[in-house]
């Protein structure tokens, strides 16, 4: 499912303007783990705590820390037996409003389950106790036979409906597109619709993440892969007033770039942070940092981007909490880094995976500081 293999020497020099790390990275479990996804709970008895989901060998591990994120402990593990082989690329989501019989604060996990030979499915599990116990809920989408269905993500739109976004490569008109299904109760789902489906058949939009900004607008970050030029798998974003209408599916979107032309390639991931303005901060993480010439940048694996106006533009560089200087197009090193902001918005608690000496892939976490608020 991944793209071009990029081979490049990665410089180990950290950009001088980046903020220093506040803590050395610590391994989360010491077990096989990759594709971290973290959220901060905003409702219920677990309000303020941080949840992280990791993928092991067909096992989803869930860890939790208190509000300050000083120590993580495993609180649950589950296996989706719809596949005898694999689950991958899952995201966590906390319901901000009731959906069907699920109250505010219900935590959901959605991931791709199975191999192409088994018919891939996006399946949702739910937890009513801040991630400690999990029950299967529903299937929000499935691929056509021999096709892939990857990287699902959940959001509640302005109409109160649960939306399931996914990357579907089982449509004959597109190598891959970002699709969506919708549900009023989280159990019964609509037919698929295309949200990002660019005209060039060979291009591959995917890795969608949707967040609701403090202004109420909805913000989607995603990648488009398989281009023939230097922008081989770069990040894009678009916005929606209501989380329902996202504009022309054939439009690629807007690339988040710094003033000097740097951009992320592969596996974009976003989190929000307060900054004293109505729009708030958007923090963008990605697997590989590229310079304006399309070469691997010296800050590769050590950098995140920040926008102070809700992700519209003005992106600048900040030190990543967990440095992975060997980040490259591979399913372990810095693949889908994730993070959550501290409650005051002044630091980033980040998670990233990398290979270890025995050849396994382990996920570590650490905290880095964010710049002072604008103004």
> Tens digit of pLDDT for each residue in 30-62?
999 999 999 999 998 899 999 999 999 889 999
Query: Which residues contact residue 179 at a Cβ distance below 8 angstroms, ignoring those fewer than 6 apart?
Result: 141, 165, 166, 167, 168, 192, 193, 194, 195, 197
Tell me, what's the pLDDT at 367? 95
Q: Which domains does the chain have, with CATH numbers?
A: 26-369 (2.120.10.10)
Q: Is the dihedral of CA 69, 75, 81, 86 positive or negative?
A: positive
Mean pLDDT lowest for which of 11-15, 73-77, 182-186, 218-222? 11-15
Give the whole-angstrom CA distance, residue 102 versus residue 272: 24
Give the whole-angstrom CA distance, residue 67 versus residue 357: 32
Nearest to residue 166, comparing CAs of 195, 200, 126?
A: 195
345-370 pLDDT per residue, tens:
999 999 999 999 999 999 999 999 99
Q: Is the pLDDT of residue 14 over 80?
A: no
Give me 244's structure tokens: 């329902």
The overall average pLDDT reported for the chain is 92
Q: Could you tell me if residue 243 is left (phi over 0), alpha (psi between -120 and 50 degrees) or otherwise beta? A: left
- What's the pLDDT band for 4 if we cut at 50, 70, 90? very low
Tell me, what's the pLDDT at 22? 44
- What's the pLDDT band for 86 if we cut at 50, 70, 90? confident
Q: Could you tell me if residue 242 is left (phi over 0), alpha (psi between -120 and 50 degrees) or otherwise beta? A: alpha
Percent of the chain at pLDDT above 70?
A: 94
Task: Provide the residue count of the chain.
Answer: 375
The answer to whether the CB of 10 falls within 8 A of the CB of 329 is no
Kindly tell me the burial class for residue 373, based on how many C-beta atoms sit within 10 Å of its own C-beta (0-12, 13-18, 19 or more).
middle
Q: Which residue has the tokens 């649960």?
A: 162
229-283 pLDDT per residue, tens:
888 899 999 999 999 999 999 999 999 999 999 999 999 999 999 999 999 999 9
Tell me, what's the pLDDT at 20? 42
Tell me, what's the pLDDT at 23? 58
Tell me, what's the pLDDT at 17? 33
Give the whole-angstrom CA distance, residue 197 versus residue 193: 10
Give the whole-angstrom CA distance, residue 216 versus residue 306: 19
The answer to whether the CB of 111 falls within 8 A of the CB of 50 is no
Q: What is the 3-state secondary structure (H, E, C) of the chain?
A: CCCCCCCCCCCCCCCCCCCCECCCCEECCCCCCEEEEEEECCCCCCCCCEEEEEECCCCEEEEEECCCCCCCEEEEEECCCCCCCCEEEEEEEECCCCECCECCCCEEEEEEECCHHHCCEEEEEEECCCCCCCEEEEEEEECCCCCCEEEEEEEECCCCCEEEEEEECCCCCCCCEEEEEEECCCCCCCCCEEEECCCCCCCEEEEEEEEECCCCCEEEEEEEECCCCCCCEEEEEEEECCCCCCCCCCCCCECCCECCCCEEECCCEEEEECCCCCCCEEEEECCEEECCCCCECCCCCCEEEEECCCCCCCEEEEECCCCCCCCCCCCCCCCCCEEEECCCCCEEEEEEEEECCCCCEEEEEEEEECCCCCC
Give the whole-angstrom CA distance, residue 281 versus residue 215: 12
Give the whole-angstrom CA distance, residue 172 versus residue 296: 33
Q: Is the pLDDT of residue 12 over 90?
A: no
pTM of the shown model = 0.93
Tell me, what's the pLDDT at 374? 84
């Amino acid at each position: 499912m991944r793209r071009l293999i990029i081979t490049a020497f990665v410089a180990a020099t950290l950009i001088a303007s980046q903020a220093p790390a506040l803590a050395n990275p610590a391994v989360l479990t010491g077990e096989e783990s990759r594709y971290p996804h973290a959220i901060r709970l905003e409702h219920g008895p677990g309000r303020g705590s941080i949840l992280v989901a990791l993928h092991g060998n067909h096992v989803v591990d869930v860890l939790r820390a208190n509000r300050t994120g000083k120590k993580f402990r495993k609180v649950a593990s589950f296996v989706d037996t719809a596949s005898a082989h694999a689950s991958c690329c899952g995201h966590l989501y906390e319901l901000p409003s009731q959906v069907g019989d699920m109250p505010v604060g219900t935590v959901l996990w959605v991931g791709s389950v199975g191999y192409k030979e088994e018919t891939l499915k996006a399946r949702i599990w739910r937890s009513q106790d801040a991630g400690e116990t999990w029950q299967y809920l529903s299937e929000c989408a499935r691929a056509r036979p021999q096709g892939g269905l990857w990287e699902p993500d959940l959001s509640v739109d302005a109409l109160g409906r649960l939306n399931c976004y996914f990357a579907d490569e089982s449509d004959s008109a597109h190598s891959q597109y970002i699709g969506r299904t919708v549900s009023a109760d989280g159990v019964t789902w609509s037919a698929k619709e295309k949200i990002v489906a660019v005209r060039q058949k060979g291009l591959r939009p995917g890795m969608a993440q949707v967040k609701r900004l403090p202004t109420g607008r909805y913000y989607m970050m995603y990648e488009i892969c398989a281009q023939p030029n230097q922008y081989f798998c770069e990040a894009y974003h678009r916005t929606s007033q209501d989380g329902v209408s996202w504009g022309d599916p054939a439009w690629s979107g807007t690339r988040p770039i710094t003033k000097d032309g740097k951009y992320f390639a592969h596996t974009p991931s976003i989190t929000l942070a307060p900054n004293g303005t109505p729009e708030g901060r958007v923090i963008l993480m990605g697997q590989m940092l590229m310079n304006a010439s399309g070469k691997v940048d010296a800050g590769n694996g050590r950098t995140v981007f920040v926008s102070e106006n809700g992700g519209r533009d003005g992106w600048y560089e900040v030190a990543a909490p967990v440095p992975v200087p060997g980040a490259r197009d591979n399913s372990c090193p810095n693949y889908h880094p994730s993070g959550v902001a501290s409650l005051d918005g002044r630091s980033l608690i980040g998670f990233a995976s990398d290979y270890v000496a025995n050849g396994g892939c382990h996920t570590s976490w650490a905290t880095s500081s964010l710049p002072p608020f604008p103004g």
